């Protein structure tokens, strides 16, 4: 236990239905770091906003009073405080590739996860009820109005506002279906993505796969039908504990990761490039064609410009021999060219490397 946690559990401000709160909780459970989840009621939300500069979930308050946001740097920092058992593989090539998959899973599965939850009526009715019951029980408005308001907000922001419509819907759903297929093939032959214990990429995919795809009615039924190994893996990650979930990792990058890495090269990195170009051109919205589907009016995400910079930084930090293997792997999966396509993405976010203690940057905020 590090000094900062000696005085008690980490307070995790979030929600029982939230993508990134689920990712962070699974990590804390595996590392056996004590935490307490606090629902983001309007009062807590205001406190989080004042303390971190953003109201996104999860936000974590350490016992020494410091606040953290953004699960990727939060996990990286906690790993420095609680090194055993490591979730970032010791092998530099595996570490880099895991970070790439974590980022892909965090950011690229977000759109299908929000689409399944808010575009399907039964899912939207159930989830708006759960959100209101958990986070807005005392808001003095009729329940139906609060639930309706939540559904409208989510549709406006994350469905219609994130390029989902009749022309893109089939492609958005295919992102989920291909991820399921890729993951199911992996979990048919190994318990976790890289071997016998969970590592960073497991927690990355867990975000969408648990609280959205696995537990929401429509995508949950699809998972049970098409990818039961993924459903079983959800329970395995949730139940994993560092003190007893031990075992070897694969050597190198498993061949079964290839379909996922091809998606990174074909879809996610080209999206990141178009987003970064639009950011540099100071646009608010941009159009891009991904795997033959034209997306219109996507919101520019400064945060995701930073994601691209971070990935490049991780590559540049690789030692020589791992760099050569990573180059070969990236070229083989068409990731190399889009990783470097944009000259100086220049997000300007967190220039001093203060994350996770920096002022937070929500995904679509400028």
Ligand X SMILES: N[C@@H](CCC(=O)N[C@@H](CS)C(=O)NCC(=O)O)C(=O)O
Q: How many CB atoms lie within 10 A of CB 155?
A: 17
Distance CA 12, CA 38 (A): 6
Give the binding site for ligand X (CB under 6 A). 18-20, 56-57, 70-72, 106, 362-363
Cα 119 to Cα 42, 213, 318, distances in angstroms: 25, 13, 42
- Measure the CA angle with vertex 321, ends 319 and 327; round to 5°: 95
21/168 with CB nearer ligand X: 21
**Which strands make up the sheet holding 10-14, listed edge to edge?**
35-39, 10-14, 59-61, 67-69
Q: What is residue 210's DSSP assignment?
A: I
106/202 with CB nearer ligand X: 106
102: left (phi over 0), alpha (psi -120 to 50) or beta: alpha
On the 0-12 / 13-18 / 19+ scale of CB atoms within 10 A, 262 is: middle
- Measured from the CB of residue 145, what is the shortest distance to ligand X in angstroms? 19
93/154 with CB nearer ligand X: 154
- Measured from the CB of residue 361, what is the shortest distance to ligand X in angstroms? 8
- Measured from the CB of residue 256, what is the shortest distance to ligand X in angstroms? 26
340/364 with CB nearer ligand X: 364
- Measured from the CB of residue 269, what is the shortest distance to ligand X in angstroms? 18
Distance CA 216, CA 9 (A): 29
Phi, psi for 308 (deg, rounded to 5): -65, -45
- Measured from the CB of residue 195, what is the shortest distance to ligand X in angstroms? 24
- Measured from the CB of residue 106, what is the shortest distance to ligand X in angstroms? 6
101/249 with CB nearer ligand X: 101
- Measured from the CB of residue 27, what is the shortest distance to ligand X in angstroms? 11
68/329 with CB nearer ligand X: 68
191/299 with CB nearer ligand X: 299
71/168 with CB nearer ligand X: 71
Distance CA 106, CA 100 (A): 10
On the 0-12 / 13-18 / 19+ scale of CB atoms within 10 A, 8 is: exposed
Element (H, E) at 118: helix 110-119
191/356 with CB nearer ligand X: 356
Give CA 36 to chain center in angstroms: 21
- Measured from the CB of residue 205, what is the shortest distance to ligand X in angstroms? 13
Q: What is residue 192's DSSP assignment?
A: B
Contact at 8 Å (CB) between 245 and 198?
A: yes
- Measured from the CB of residue 52, what is the shortest distance to ligand X in angstroms? 11
Phi, psi for 30 (deg, rounded to 5): -65, -40
Cα 13 to Cα 105, 116, 208, 213, 260, distances in angstroms: 22, 24, 18, 22, 31
19/30 with CB nearer ligand X: 19
- Measured from the CB of residue 19, what is the shortest distance to ligand X in angstroms? 4
């Amino acid at each position: 236990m590090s000094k900062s946690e000696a005085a008690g559990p980490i307070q995790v401000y979030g929600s029982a239905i939230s993508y990134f709160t689920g990712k962070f909780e699974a990590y804390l459970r595996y590392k056996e770091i004590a935490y307490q989840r606090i629902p983001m009621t309007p009062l807590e939300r205001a406190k989080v906003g004042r303390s971190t500069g953003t109201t996104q979930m999860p936000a974590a308050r350490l016992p020494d009073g410091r606040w953290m946001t953004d699960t990727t740097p939060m996990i990286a920092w906690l790993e420095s405080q609680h090194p055993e058992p490591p979730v970032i593989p010791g092998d530099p090539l595996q570490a880099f590739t895991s970070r790439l998959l974590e980022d892909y899973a965090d950011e690229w599965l977000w759109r299908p996860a929000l689409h399944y939850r808010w575009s399907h009526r039964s899912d939207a009715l159930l989830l708006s009820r759960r959100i209101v019951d958990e986070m807005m029980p005392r808001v003095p408005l009729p329940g139906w109005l609060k639930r309706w308001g939540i559904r409208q907000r989510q549709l406006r922001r994350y469905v219609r506002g994130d390029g989902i419509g009749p022309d893109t819907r089939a492609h958005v759903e295919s992102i989920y279906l291909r991820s399921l297929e890729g993951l199911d093939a992996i979990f048919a032959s190994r318990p976790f993505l890289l071997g016998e214990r969970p590592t960073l990429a497991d927690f990355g995919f867990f975000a969408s796969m648990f609280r959205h795809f696995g537990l929401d009615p429509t995508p949950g039924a699809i998972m049970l039908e098409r990818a039961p190994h993924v459903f079983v893996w959800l329970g395995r990650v949730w139940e994993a504990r560092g003190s007893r979930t031990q075992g070897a990792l694969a050597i190198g990058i498993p061949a079964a990761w290839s379909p996922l890495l091809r998606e990174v090269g074909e879809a996610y990195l080209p999206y990141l490039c178009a987003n970064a170009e639009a950011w540099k051109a100071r646009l608010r919205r941009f159009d891009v064609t991904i795997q033959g589907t034209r997306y219109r009016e996507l919101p520019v995400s400064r945060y995701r410009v930073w994601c691209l910079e971070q990935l490049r930084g991780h590559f540049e930090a690789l030692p020589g021999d791992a760099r050569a293997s990573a180059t070969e792997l990236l070229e083989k999966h068409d990731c190399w060219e889009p990783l470097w396509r944009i000259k100086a993405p220049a997000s300007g976010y967190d220039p001093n490397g203060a994350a996770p203690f920096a002022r937070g940057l929500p995904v679509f905020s400028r």
